[in-house]
Structure 1
Amino acid sequence: MLVIFTDLDGSLLNHEDYSYKDAIPSLERIKKLKIPLIFTSSKTRVEIELLQKEIGIKEPFIVENGAAVFFPEKYRNFRLNLPKFNGYRIMKLGKEYSYIRKFISQIKKIIPIKGFGDMSVEEIAKLTDLPIERARYAKMREFTEPFIIEDESKLSILKKEAEKYGLKITKGGRFYHLIGKDQDKGKAVKLTSQIFKENLGDIKTVGIGDSKNDISMLEVVDIPVLIPKFNMEYENIWLPNLIKASFPGSKGWNEVVWRLIDEFETACN
Structure 2
Amino acid sequence: MTTDYQPPQRPSGPRLIVFSDLDGTLLDHDSYSWAAAEPALGRMRALGIPLILASSKTAAEIAELRAEMGFDHAPAIVENGAGVLAPGAGALNDRSAHEKIRAALAELPAALRQGFTGFSDWSVAEVAQHTGLSPAQAELAARRQFSEPGLWTGSDAGRRAFEAALQAKGIEARQGGRYLTLSFGATKADRMAEITADYRSHPVTMALGDAPNDVEMIAMADHGVVVRNSHGPGIPALPGEKSGRITRTQRPGPEGWRLAVLERIAQEYEEEKEG
Q: Same fold (TM over 0.5)?
A: yes
Alignment partner of 1:67 out of 68, 76, 82: 82
Task: Give runs of ≥4 in structure 1 deviating > 4 Å.
Answer: 231-234
Contact preservation (8 Å) 2:210, 2:227: yes
Partner of 1:80: none
Residues 144 and 232 of structure 1: CA distance in aligned 2, closer, same or farther (over 3 Å): closer
CA distance in structure 2 between the aligned counterparts of 1:66 and 1:146, rounded to whole angstroms: 13
Letter in 2 for 1:213: N
Q: Identity percentage over the alignment? A: 31
How far did 1:233 drift?
A: 8.5
Contact preservation (8 Å) 2:25, 2:253: yes
Partner of 1:204: 204
Structure 1 position 4 matched with structure 2 position 18? yes
Contact preservation (8 Å) 2:60, 2:90: no
Letter in 1 for 2:131: T
CA distance in structure 2 between the aligned counterparts of 1:177 and 1:28, rounded to whole angstroms: 32
Partner of 2:178: 174
Alignment partner of 2:253 out of 249, 252, 257: 249
CA distance in structure 1 between the aligned counterparts of 2:121 and 2:175, rounded to whole angstroms: 19
Query: The residue matched to 1:245 in structure 2 has which SS?
Result: strand
CA distance in structure 1 between the aligned counterparts of 2:155 and 2:83, rounded to whole angstroms: 29
Partner of 1:40: 54
TM-score (norm 1): 0.87
Residues 95 and 170 of structure 1: CA distance in aligned 2, closer, same or farther (over 3 Å): farther
Alignment partner of 1:155 out of 150, 156, 159: 159
Unaligned runs of 5+ in 2: 1-14
Partner of 1:83: none
Letter in 1 for 2:193: K
Letter in 1 for 2:161: I
1:220-231 to 2 correspondence within 5 Å?
220-230=220-230
Letter in 2 for 1:66: G
Letter in 2 for 1:72: P
CA distance in structure 2 between the aligned counterparts of 1:249 and 1:67, rounded to whole angstroms: 24
Partner of 2:98: 97
Contact preservation (8 Å) 2:215, 2:235: no
How far did 1:174 drift?
A: 1.2
CA distance in structure 1 between the aligned counterparts of 2:90 and 2:210, rounded to whole angstroms: 31
Residues 127 and 135 of structure 1: CA distance in aligned 2, closer, same or farther (over 3 Å): same
Contact preservation (8 Å) 2:22, 2:55: yes
Query: The residue matched to 1:145 in structure 2 has which SS?
Result: strand
Alignment partner of 1:189 out of 189, 192, 199: 192
Partner of 1:49: 63
Residues 128 and 204 of structure 1: CA distance in aligned 2, closer, same or farther (over 3 Å): same
How far did 1:195 drift?
A: 1.6
Residues 265 and 162 of structure 1: CA distance in aligned 2, closer, same or farther (over 3 Å): same
Show CA shifts across 1:211-248 (max 9, x none). 10000111211110010113698521313221111200
Query: The residue matched to 2:267 in structure 1 has which SS?
Result: helix
Letter in 1 for 2:98: Y
Q: Which moved more, 1:34-43 or 1:47-56?
A: 47-56
Residues 10 and 130 of structure 1: CA distance in aligned 2, closer, same or farther (over 3 Å): same
Structure 1 position 138 matched with structure 2 position 141? yes
CA distance in structure 1 between the aligned counterparts of 2:139 and 2:264, rounded to whole angstroms: 36
Structure 1 position 265 matched with structure 2 position 269? yes
Q: Which moved more, 1:52-61 or 1:94-103?
A: 94-103
Partner of 2:237: 237
Partner of 1:81: none
Residues 184 and 87 of structure 1: CA distance in aligned 2, closer, same or farther (over 3 Å): closer
Residues 127 and 231 of structure 1: CA distance in aligned 2, closer, same or farther (over 3 Å): closer
Structure 1 position 122 matched with structure 2 position 125? yes
CA distance in structure 1 between the aligned counterparts of 2:173 and 2:234, rounded to whole angstroms: 21
Query: The residue matched to 2:31 in structure 1 has which SS?
Result: coil
Q: CA RMSD in A?
A: 2.2
How many positions carry a matched residue from both structures?
A: 250
Partner of 1:106: 107
Show CA shifts across 1:127-166 (max 9, x none). 1111111111100000000012331331011111111110
Letter in 1 for 2:51: L
